[in-house]
Structure 1
Amino acid sequence: MESQFGNKIRSLREIQNLLLRQVASILEMDTAQLSKIERGERQAKKETVMKIAVILKVDENELLTLWLADQIYEVVKNDDENALKAMMVAEDSVKYEITKKIR
């Protein structure tokens, strides 16, 4: 599966007519590294995701959600039998933590 995060940032970058090297320069990384992130061959750091959101003028939560989804998929992609069950357990845990914070 392709990187949802990588596809999104490539699409946004191209829509805004920004070259890969321009965005890489602003991020202070080399073009090859950003290219690998867009292709899903390398994971960006959370701080980089937030910087990309600013550069591409997009909601950082949208990008963070796609970035996190890609990471979760990487962990569970080879465990067909337990992946969905594990994600449901994790979902319950997240919901529990959210409700604790609301109280």
Structure 2
Amino acid sequence: MIGNKIRELREENNILLRQLAAQLDMDTAMLSKMERGERFFKKEDIVTLSEIFNQNSKDLLVLWLADKIVKTINTEDYPKEALQMALKSLESNKE
């Protein structure tokens, strides 16, 4: 999810992978893996990317976190049930 969005933003802005990697102070191969969803972006990278692409940081951070959650639970048994329980816990902690 987040990798596809970053690639989309990069291409829309005509920025080469190596150029963006340099702005993030990371290896081009690593950024390529992140765009393909093979590696996780760090939270700090997402904040920097929101500045580079002039995007709302909240929108990109929500997408980043959702991607992390899905990749963490989707190979486990009962991911939907676990997510529903986690949501209930978050809602009860608000009160």
Q: Same fold (TM over 0.5)?
A: yes
Shift of 1:37: 0.5
Pairs within 5 Å for 1:13-92? 13-80=10-77, 82-92=78-88
Q: Give 4+ residue runs of structure 1 displaced > 3 Å after superposition.
A: none
Cα deviation for residue 12 of structure 1 reads: 0.7
- Give how far 1:57 is off: 1.1
SS at match of 2:39: coil
Question: How many residues are paired up?
Answer: 95
1:4-24: CA deviation from partner (whole Å, max 9, x where unpaired)? 000001001100111111111
Unaligned 5+ segments in structure 2 are none
**1:10-41 per-position Cα deviation (integer Å, ceiling 9, x unaligned):** 00110011111111111111111111110001
> SS state of the match for residue 29, structure 1?
coil
Per-residue deviation at 1:96? 2.6
C-alpha distance in 1 between matches for 2:89 and 2:50: 28
| Structure 2 counterpart of 1:96 | 92
Distance 1:84 1:60 in 2: 27
TM-score under structure 2 length normalisation:
0.92
Separation (CA, whole Å) in 1 of partners of 2:90 and 2:58: 17
Could you tell me the TM-score, scaled by structure 1's length?
0.85
RMSD, aligned CA = 1.2
Structure 2 residue identity aligned to 1:91: L
Among all aligned residue pairs of Structure 1 and Structure 2, give the percentage whose two residues are the same amino acid.
45
Measured in 2, the distance between the counterparts of 1:23 and 1:50 equals: 14
